[in-house]
Amino acid sequence: MKIIAHRGASFEAPENTLAAFGRALDAGADGIELDVYAIEDELIVFHDRYLERLTATPGRLCDLTLAQVRQLKIFGQQRIPTLNEALAFIAGRCLVNIELKGPVDIQRMRSCLDYAVQACQFAPEQLLVSSFNHHWLQQLKRQQPTQVIGALTTCCPLDYCVFAERLNAWSVHIDVDFVTPELVADGHQRGLQVYVFTVDEAHDIEDLYRMGVDGIFTNHPAHARNVLAGLPV
Ligand code: G3P
Ligand code: MG
């Protein structure tokens, strides 16, 4: 079962920062998940629409200029990286899951993905783009049919993973609260990887491993690695 560091190793360092990505790599994570918004013509790595939880500034992220975003500090410590900075830092050392939180220009997205492959040592299959907005994924897939995409859901749909198959996704990413053995089996039958978020507790890691889940998103990859090491093969 793959271990994907959720917003980097966000239990150990401020989320979605180079520090958190470094800790994830140190922990031997198989992948790093990060969240992306477009500001002006740049893609930046940040989770929230509002600034209060993560920075000392109130208000909405979308109301800032790129220059203002670049002045912010996450928990007073780390800069908000651009997607290209994050890709250059991770440099092909593990899979990167780019979660689209807001609408992005597809050409801009594609240029970041090209930069990752051409300048940052990534193989194309190490770049997984996901979103809860399946329309954005569909647009990306139509313009770039070879792009690997993951369809996010918080619910367990009546027809299980049909939505992901329709998108020609590589994976379905489902909330730990709603994943079931039936959904996992359905995803596998459709040729999909099934990843589950966000999983930090040992009991959940054990249950999901036994369920045959392919990967988990965790804030604490070192802990998840230890839990998995203690389970029978
Ligand atoms: O991509 C998995 C997970 O990150 C989705 O939820 O809110 O943590 O971005 P969220
Ligand atoms: Mg996310």
Domain that holds residue 97: 2-229
CA–CA separation, 75 vs 167, rounded Å? 37
As averages over each run of 10 residues, the pLDDT of the chain (233 residues) reads 98 98 98 98 98 97 98 96 98 98 96 98 98 98 97 98 98 98 98 98 98 98 97 86
Name the domain count of the chain: 1
The CATH number for 41's domain is 3.20.20.190
Of the candidates 6, 134, 173, 223, the residue annotated as catalytic is 6
- Asked whether 11 and 200 are in contact (CB, 8 A), the reply is yes
What's residue 233's pLDDT?
78
The whole-angstrom separation of Cα 190 and Cα 219 is 29
Nearest to 8 by CA among 19, 173, 122: 19
Tally of CB atoms within 10 A around 128: 23
Q: Atom 1, ligand 1: which residue's CA is nearest?
A: 99
In this prediction, residue 2 carries a pLDDT of 98
Answer yes or no: is the ipTM higher than 0.95: yes
- Determine whether the shortest distance from the Cβ of 130 to ligand 1 is under 6 A: yes
User: For residues 30 and 4, is the Cβ–Cβ distance under 8 A?
Assistant: yes
User: Does any ligand 1 atom lie closer than 6 A to the CB of residue 35?
Assistant: yes
Query: Does residue 195 line the site of ligand 1, with CB under 6 A?
Result: no
